[in-house]
Copies of this chain bind each other. A is one copy, B any other.
């Protein structure tokens, strides 16, 4: 598990970077926001490039690649704040459909990989604070099937989803994953806008009939861990781009007759941001490879690596975001400047799927302190 990019990964990275650059870079996110921030942007185009199905097995129409490759695309997307649901659909949605190995779920994968259908995972709830053990949504047995009752929040791409994978407690006991189609009676989906102007859905489930049970709690954990790696990689992109913008500003902005990058305090703080980003990058690379190695690693090792990556990337991104605004000075506070968009996305991704404190607690639990 060497921590270097393979030639293929470099190719994917460069391809993603030039695609996003050609499509307008971060200006595209600003336009998306000003247009109201709904829809899945260029999702169809991304799917044509193979990214919607990047980690979908080849047998189901995907590219059959791993999280190491996904991380490379997620980072490129993060650099331009792409509003498409790579995390929501290509990682969380596709994994939730596929990892349980149940036909009803697998059957959707080809459509997801081609971009014809959008899938989303509805797992979080307002009072859960990220702990799946606190899931409140309940699945009640109804003949051969299940009926779901509860409310989910922050479902990425939920408003656009054709199919939802919903976590719920079976008769109030074990958590499992259920397939719910868009048209299911009793399902209400309302879009909400978060600070990063990408909408997520609140999902109401009022006796909704699930079309299948497609995974248990351990599958959910694996799905979330893949999402954490992707979110961490996206954060690397967000924070990396924000850092480079700031570095450029330090070199260019003149005060007192010199570039402000000559002031030692700012220089040292910039060096510390750089350190934080480099350490985060090592952790993200290790985590993606550990997840891909799967059974090959010591139990708990991959999970710890995932928590390390998400914690490090979240903390680094928040630090970079705060410092980026401060170092930009007044202009950094204006809505007009792009750095604010990075600031907001960094915060949303840092909180998504557990922030630094959440993952340090999780690490401690696994390590047994």
Interface residues of A, Cβ cutoff 8 Å to B:
263-265, 268
Contacts and interface: CB of A to CB of B under 8 A. Distances in A.
A81 B307 CA distance: 46
Nearest to A267: B265
Give the oligomeric copy count: 2
Contacts of A268: 265
A176 to B, nearest CB: 36
| Interface of chain A, main secondary structure | helix
Contacts of A263: 264
Nearest to A266: B264
A263 B265 CA distance: 9
Nearest to A264: B264
A263 B268 CA distance: 11
Contacts of A265: 264-265, 268
A51 to B, nearest CB: 43
A256 to B, nearest CB: 12
A264 B264 CA distance: 6
5 contacts: A263-B264, A264-B264, A264-B265, A265-B265, A265-B268
For the complex of A and B, list the 5 residue pairs with the smallest distance between their C-beta atoms, beginning with the closest: A264-B264, A264-B265, A265-B268, A265-B265, A263-B264
Nearest to A262: B264
A265 B96 CA distance: 49
Contacts of A264: 263-265
A264 B265 CA distance: 6
A221 B149 CA distance: 53
A224 to B, nearest CB: 30
A156 B263 CA distance: 48
